[in-house]
Amino acid sequence: MASENADGTYSPSEEYRKRTYIDSYAKYEEMYRKSIEEPEEFWTEQAENLDWYSKGWKKVFDWNKKASTFTWFKGGKLNACYNCLDRHVEGGLKNTAALIFEADEPGNSRVYTYGLLLSEVEKFANVLKSKGVKKGDRVAVYLPMIPELAITVLACARIGAVHSVVFSGFSTDSLFNRVQDSDSKVLVTCDGSYRGGKTLDMKGKVNEMLERETSVDSVIVVKHTGKDVVMEDGRDFWWHEEMSKADLKCPCEQMDAEDPFFILYTSGSTGKPKGVLHTVGGYMLGVTITFKYAFDYRPGETHWCTADLGWITGHSYVLYGPLSNGATTLMFEGVPNYPDNGRFWEIVENWKVDIFYTAPTAIRMMRKSGDEWVRKHDVSSLKVLGSVGEPIDSSVWKWYYEVVGNGRCPIADTYWQTETGSHIILPLPGAWNQKPGSAMKPFFGIEPVILNEDKTPTPVGQDGRLCIKKPWPSCARTLWGDHEKYKETYWNPYPGYYFSGDGARQDSDGDIWITGRVDDVISVAGHRIGAAEVEAALIAHPAVSEAAVVPIPDEMKGEAIYGFVTLKNGFEDSEELRNDLVKQVRNEVGPIATPKTIQIAEELPKTRSGKIVRRMLRKIASGSDFRSMDASTLVDPGVLDDLVKGRR
């Protein structure tokens, strides 16, 4: 078992070095330097990892800084579904497992070979066409982690329709906002879902949404739980009935590299979720090569990323990255602690998983449940581990490394975002010694810069804001229907740079440490929740006058939501009201945004211009010393004492 070096780092084992593609820092540096100094040559070479109908691009990269628009490989033609399926079927993987589906209930699994997955996708692409879906049309997808979700998005990719997956845990309102914003005509959903042995209704939520006027004409419904649902004639269609009528063959649409690929909504600092838009060529190139290098994927290996396809991690590393590489990808419907705390490790043992990729929140949960749950199972098939979604604390890193990886498996602590499409900062697992808790080095083509608020570079060791010089291929191109907002959020704050919204620092070895969001985004169990979205839900309650929500540290979830609320005249603080407000947020945003605490206050701290001072509320909510803060900008510094007294 490899152990800690004197300087606190961990070296990849000799055994691992044989598996890795980039086996030394020098090799990384050579490739990295080329990616920065000769980007056009570098990316043209990397584009060979994809199959193109035409490499007819005039320019590899074109950037209009003023407009915050850029293109990669414009004029090149390809299809993402072809790259994920057809080319592997043609290349000899027809009878190789593409997708392993592990259901919520143990023992219920299904395996799709590349050949079978392709034929299901072709049929479903024809079903979409029969509902009038054409290239460029948006299709909303509201499904749990079942194979039909993968089939739907790949079918969209095949015919050039733009998929917009909405996380199945979102509420009716969140679904409504996303469907309307993307103007989706077709919605794919199911009767219900399973989670930890419980059945959850989905079609009911869809029906409730469709009571309102929406853009949706047709709904395709997967029969999954078999529970009775209300279907509306002429609007709702059963998946299995449509599939049995569908033609078997459907050609791939030849897409321009810069054609829209998919929209994925994420939370920002305003109440309205942002529709992050990715394009076909750059995104596919990013996920294809990061999957290969971050995990050193070798043909024949089984990859399991525990993320839901409702988030970018699911898009990039359950689906597009692994399938583009011809890997076997595992899709899990359930939860880590059902039927017992050993479920993850039982799955690893049963399917002999080689690459395991999860989030620190899940690792903390596993650690808390005890080492014996891991030890009960043979997890010796694991070769490399991954972490994503939030900074991983070094003690959690060590547990993951020692107990799960048994000291053999390097950990790729991959830093990236919905907007970056693929990993941008990470320790390449076989190339150098790893530092627990640090995301370490930039991926190819990424030039990170840490800046002060005044836009000057931050000295080594000091916290600043993480920015990236120049766009890279898998960087989001715009926000759906709101390019101004895109410019304003990502390119205007630090002109000439992409602004990540995260804080970071660089140590004396040049390694990067991510310190967390610097905007009003809260990271609950690695999921981004916009403070403004929760506030909007609270303010919609008849008793609420004003609301401000802030993150507080949480042992399991990393951060939890703490809400301060002032009431309208005639309403009084009570436990019932506070519970009602929590319920309100669950209904309007979804259970993931459930506030941990609601504090009813007389007043909120405000500046003379009326702005609520959230940084003070953060301190008060987390019980830290707020007196060190400069309260002179407040209209009434006295409100702080009342807030501290009322803390829950």
Q: Does 283 bind ligand WT7 (CB under 6 A)?
A: no
Per rule CB under 6 A, is residue 367 in the interface with ligand WT7? no
Work out the widest C-alpha separation in the chain, in whole angstroms: 73
Q: What residue type is 525 in one-letter code? A: A
Minimal CA–CA distance to 71: which of 250, 257, 248, 245? 257
Q: Pick the stretch among 125-133, 181-189, 413-421, 626-634 that binds ligand WT7 (CB under 6 A).
A: 413-421
The stretch among 163-171, 399-407, 414-422, 534-542 that binds ligand WT7 (CB under 6 A) is: 414-422
Exposure letters 181-201 (e unless 16+ CB within 10 A, then b)? bbebbbbbbbbbbbbeeeebe
Of 190, 222, 220, the residue nearest 203 (C-alpha) = 190
SS3 542: coil
Least distance from ligand WT7 to the Cβ atom of residue 83, Å = 21
> Which CB atom, from 275 or from 605, has the smaller least distance to ligand WT7?
275
Name which of residues 479 to 498 contact ligand WT7 (CB under 6 A). Answer: none
- Closer residue to ligand WT7 (CB): 329 or 523: 523
Are 256 and 280 spatial neighbours (Cβ–Cβ below 8 Å)?
yes
CB neighbours of residue 640 within 10 Å: 21
313 binds ligand WT7 (CB under 6 A): yes
Interface stretch with ligand WT7, choices 284-292, 376-384, 386-394, 473-481 (CB under 6 A): 386-394
339 preceded by a cis bond (ω within 30 of 0): yes
When asked if residue 178 is in the footprint of ligand WT7 (CB under 6 A), the reply is no
3 state SS of 483? helix
Q: Measuring CA to CA, which residue among 312, 364, 337, 360 is closest to residue 523? A: 360
Among 133, 202, 388, 476, binds ligand WT7 (CB under 6 A): 388
Does residue 119 belong to the site contacting ligand WT7 (CB under 6 A)? no
- Find the shortest distance in angstroms from Cβ 282 to ligand WT7: 16
Which three-class secondary structure state does DSSP give residue 495?
coil
Asked whether position 418 contacts ligand WT7 by CB under 6 A, the answer is yes
| Binding status of residue 501 toward ligand WT7 by CB under 6 A | yes
- Cβ neighbourhood burial of 132 (10 Å; 0-12, 13-18, 19+): exposed
Options 179, 187, 312, 522; binder of ligand WT7; rule CB under 6 A = 312
Total residues at the site for ligand WT7 (CB under 6 A)? 24
Report in angstroms how near the CB of residue 35 gets to ligand WT7 at its nearest: 20
Q: Which is nearer to ligand WT7, 501 or 595 (CB)?
A: 501
Q: Which residue is nearest to ligand WT7 (CB)?
A: 418
Determine if residue 269 is left, alpha or beta; phi over 0 gives left, psi from -120 to 50 gives alpha, anything else beta.
alpha
Instruction: Rule CB under 6 A: choose which of 363, 439, 600, 617 binds ligand WT7.
Output: 439
Is the CB of 98 or the CB of 514 nearer to ligand WT7?
514
Strands of 389-490 (E only): list them: 411-414, 425-426, 441-442, 447-451, 464-469, 478-479
- What residues line the site for ligand WT7 (CB under 6 A)? 266, 311-313, 388-391, 413-418, 439, 500-502, 514, 516-517, 523, 526, 528
